[in-house]
Amino acid sequence: MTSRGTQVRVASPVPARPPLSVDTLAAMQKLMGRYPRPRSALLPMLYLVQAEHGFVSREGMKEVGKLLGLSAAEIAAVATFYTMFKRRPCGTWLLSVCTNVSCDLAGGTKIYRRLKEALGAETEETTADGLFTVEEVECLGACDGAPVLQVNYENYEHVTEDLALSLIESLRAGNVPQPTRGERPKESNAVSRRLSSVEAKP
């Protein structure tokens, strides 16, 4: 199995992004109103930046800072603490392979290595076609399904090396396979928006 056209871009510079859309800003205002103190909306707002820009862009962090009355440094201090906020453009499909002990016992590490080899991508790096980002992650809280592979945070459990490879082929061909539970994963930007909980009640 080959991975045509997918090569690593090593330490690509973080690209600039345009100002946030009116839509996103409105969603941010809504989130800020949801909490007794607007700063509580910071993590959700960073998800919205990621939803629009594909990662937490410097422009987005500055805008969030303005809205919350915080310095850009204060925003970045928070953004860099959490692993789900990506520092550079993330692929359409984020592949997260758990290699913690229960998964490792079931072959998680081998799957991770195999995927990286197949995609030629370094950790936190994205394939040149912008389709995939592969990462090694900590326990995903689904050890009964070890080894676990997440695609945009949807679980594919009891995967094998072959299954993992055919999964990326399907994704590349535009077919999104059914995960172990729940819906088929959406593209990463849509997922980030959902993670902001902006659509939740109340």
Partner 1 sequence: MVNVTIDDRAITVPEGTLVIRAAEQLGLYVPRFCDHPYLAPLGACRQCLVEIEGQRKPLTSCTTTVTEGMVVKTQFTSDIAAGAQKGVLELLLINHPLDCPVCDKGGECPLQDQVLAYGPGGSRYREPKRRYVKPVPVSPLVYLDRERCVLCARCTRFASEISGDPFIELFERGALEQVAIFEDQPYESSFSGNVIQICPVGALTDAEFRFKARPFDMTSTPSVCNLCSSGCSLTIQQRRGQIVRVLARDNPDVNEVWTCDKGRFGHAYVQRPERVVEPMIKKEGSFVPVSWAEAVRLIAGRIQTVKANGESAAVLAGARLPDEDAYAVSRFARTILGTNNVDHRLRRGSAEEDAVLPQLMHAEPVEYETLERAKLVVVAGLDPREESPILFLRLRKAALKHRVPIVELQPRRTALARFGARSIRCAPGTEADVLLAAATRLGERGGVDASAVKAHHPSVSALLERCGADADHVYALADLLQRAGSDAVFLAGERLSTSPGALAACWNLAAGLGAKFARVSRRPGAAAAVWTGLHPKLLPGGRLVDNDRERLEVEAAWQTSVPAQPGLDGRSILDGASRGAIGLLYLVAIDPAFDAPDSSLGARALDTSDFIVAHDLLLTESSRRADVLLPAVAVPERAGTFTDWEIRPQTFSPAVGAPGLAEPDWQILSMIAAELGVAFPRSLEDIRREIRSLVRPQGTRTPVLVPDVSIPKSTEHYPFMLLTYPLLLDDGTMMLGANDLMRTADDVFVELNAKDAERIGVEPGESVRVSSQHGAIEAPLRVLRDLPNGSVFIPTNQRGTRVQSLLDSTDAMTFVRVDPADAGRRG
Partner 2 sequence: MTEQTPVVTGRFGAESSDTYDGYTRTGGYEGLRAALEMSPDQIIDMVKAAGLRGRGGAGFPTGVKWGFIPRERKPTYLVCNADEGEPGTFKDRELMERDPHQLIEGIAIASYAIEAAQAYIYCRGEFAFAGRQLERAIAEAYDQGILGKRVAGSDYSLDVILHRGAGAYICGEETALLESLEGKRGQPRLRPPFPATNGLYDQPTVVNNVETLSTVPHIIKNGADWFKQWGTEKSPGTKMFCVSGDVERPGNYEGPLGMPVREVIDGFAGGVKGGKKLKAFTPGGSSTPLLTAAHLDAGMDFESIAAAGSLLGTGAIIVLAEDACMVRATYRFMKFYEHESCGKCTPCREGCFWLSQVLHRIENGSGRSEDMKLLTDVSNNIFGRSFCAFGDGAVSPVLSSVKYFADEYTEHIAKKGCPFER
**For binding to partner 2 (CB under 8 A), which residues are involved?**
34-37, 39-44, 46-47, 68, 77-78, 81-85, 96, 99-102, 104-105, 137-146, 150, 152-155, 179, 181-183, 191, 194-197, 199-202
Cα dihedral 50, 53, 54, 59 sign: negative
Distance, in Å, from the CA atom of 126 to the CA atom of 123, rounded to the nearest integer, reads 8
Name the phi and psi angles at 22, rounded to 5.
-60, -40
Binding-site partner at residue 34 among partner 2, partner 1, none, CB < 5 to 8 Å by type: partner 2
Helix (H, G, I), strand (E, B) or coil at 130: coil
Q: Closest CB to partner 2 among 72 and 139?
A: 139
Among 25, 29, 40, 70, binds partner 1 (CB under 8 A): 70
- Contact pattern for partner 1 over residues 119 through 158, marking x by CB under 8 A: ----------------------------------------
Distance, in Å, from the CA atom of 14 to the CA atom of 77, rounded to the nearest integer, reads 17
Name the phi and psi angles at 67, rounded to 5.
-60, -40
Q: Could you tell me which stretch among 76-84, 102-110, 124-132, 167-175 binds partner 1 (CB under 8 A)?
A: 76-84
Distance, in Å, from the CA atom of 127 to the CA atom of 122, rounded to the nearest integer, reads 9
- Interface residues toward partner 1, by CB under 8 A: 58, 61, 70-77, 80-81
